[in-house]
Structure 1
Amino acid sequence: MPHFRLRRAVVALVTLPLLALGTGLATAAPAPHSTVGQAPAATRVSVIEDEVARTLATALTDPALRERLRAVADPVALAPLAAAVPGPAARGLAEATARADRGIATAKGLGADLGPLLRVQLADPSMRTALAAGAAPLVATAATDEHARTVRAYDTAGRSHALDTGTLPTRPVYLVDLDTAKTLEAGVAVLQREFGARGLAAAQAAGGWWVTKITSVRVNDDEEPWFKGAAEMFALVTGFGQDGKVRVDSVAMPYLQYDGTTYYPNQILVNWSSYKYNLADVVLMEDDGDTNYLALAQAVAAVLLTIADQGAYIPLVNAVLAALPESWWTDDPDYVESWYTLARSSSGRLNGARGNGWMTVEPYYVQQF
């Protein structure tokens, strides 16, 4: 089944696994259920997107807007597109979408000044022929639950239609989704800012330093329905800093978009000069576009700040997973994979603990000029 571009932000939490304190034994991270930091943002973002989809569908009675959208080949920011089309329907759509952009940014903990976030695109290039022949399009958003059997779409009269997620629709469908690359960049900045403000991201050492570099990475293929598409990833690297306090670093991974694809980023994952010990671990998470980055940072920090350096490496992954909102453990498999005991000397292929992915790494020395 082909991949379709759509909002599927994948969150990678690169952290240290939690030691069962007092036992001296590290255990593999289960998928815990936490009530910390409940995430109503998921509902708010989905509702906002659905409202915009309906507004766009009814606005497509305007021939000028319909023709402008038909000429678009790639995902395009919806508010500017609508603002460039004369007429009351397009103007109303532009205003509604601009409000929605601000509401989504706030719901995701990103502030309200990011600019356009909602995009529109054709669900599949094969639908362009039907559009050119005059077929009336539908407008939909992706279901938050990737296992949903139907996804809701609207026609130009505002009527709702249930589309089978297992079959590519024969009728043209426009998809309203988030610019996840933009929200990812802003979200990683929020995480780093919040961790720094809580003393979880002290300055790194001067001079050259050893790092762990990702040479290739892959997440196993899951059957994807037609409404799913490109993902976005970021990493949180955590351990004990040189000051003996828990440290967390955010690393954007925008290239890691699809399951079943091997990527070769040559990306720095861990800067060991920032850490007191030579061990770290990785937890890969999936975000359906509705992650509240501010709430995530606050929840993770609240747990990590309770853990003190005991003079030996203490893994922390279970603590991070326990801090995640309850919504991350329902409907979708937001917890994807874990890698334990990544050392400064680690090299070669590292299979994930769940058997759902792997990465190859190598130590690398960065020389400061």
Structure 2
Amino acid sequence: MPEPPIFDPAAADGADTAPGLRKIIHVDMDAFYASVEQRDAPELRGKPVAVGGNAARGVVAAASYEARAFGVRSAMPSARAVQLCPDLIFRRPRFDVYRAVSQQIRAIFLDYTPDVEPLSLDEAYLDVTRDARGIGSATRIAELIRQRIRAETGLTASAGVSYNKFLAKLASDQNKPDGLCVIRPGEGAAFVSALPVARFHGVGPRGAEKMAALGIATGADLRRLDLASLRQHFGAQADYLYRAARGIDLRAVTADRPRKSVGAERTFDRDLSSGTVLRETLETIIDLAWERVARADVTGRTVTLKLKFKDFSAMSRARSISTPVSSRDTLAEVARGLLDQVLPLPQPVRLMGVILSALDEPGEAPAVAPGQAELPF
């Protein structure tokens, strides 16, 4: 995860009321792929729907809220999803439709600010410190955007409003689906203190388990550790965690931020050594990687296979091709070839990943200067 700029820890406790605060909105579409399918096929409304995979193989790319009620989640193997929800309805992804809807939504954003940083087809940050319509209130802008998305696309979106990106993203998830949450200047540290650390962006299940072993369950628990202790236990992630526990994020919204790579990797519950099992596992990781590539709406020319062995040593193999990878089949063909090159492996594997890089994507626009400290949220 990209790290925010270095800051002075001595000034951290007062940072959420310091000069230079921004007005940031994070908009996140509700179960985007599945909601588009339910919108376009009324017979699916109110039913558990999964996009991607099928009942026999593959992974879930997205799940409707009806499916989530059974525990079905994105990136879950399809077979497991069916075990949890036997009546689950699978739909093939229609990325051309999702891109078209995403473009409609992006056009709405641009009516209020040119400073839009898309994270994927279904979510984006907006800096409305100096909004194009002179509305002045980030909360009001978020309300208007959500109303227009519903009216123009028939879909719902959740939004978070705050004075930095970290808090805005947390807020957008607070009242899902179809919700709005505002965290005003001076409220960030208290909001974060009450949250489970598993809600922090970048803290995955394994990170949460490690924190639990250290007695860290909430943001308040995390805040009690000084920077030296965090660096001892969490290494390069320590500075981010120190800031996050205090509701601090110094990153600016960057329009059309260029990506370097997109992909997926998985750490296994048990080490794998069989070539047959590794090939089967690779197919699942290819599904996950392609779903993220399609969601990011990018193409690329270099495919990398990443392997981490039982002793934590690593190996990677890459291949660049002359034409952009624009389908799962092409990604799979290259990834399978890379795995075949290294089999049999010298020792069992604990992690495998597939990454697409050398991306064809628009360049980076200049960052926006921060605005005033006292903002009408």
The answer to which structure, 1 or 2, has the higher relative contact order (CA under 8 A, 6+ apart) is 1
- Write 1 or 2 for the structure with the bigger share of strand: 1
- Same fold (TM > 0.5): no
- Write 1 or 2 for the structure with the bigger share of helix: 2
Give TM-score, length-normalised by structure 1: 0.25
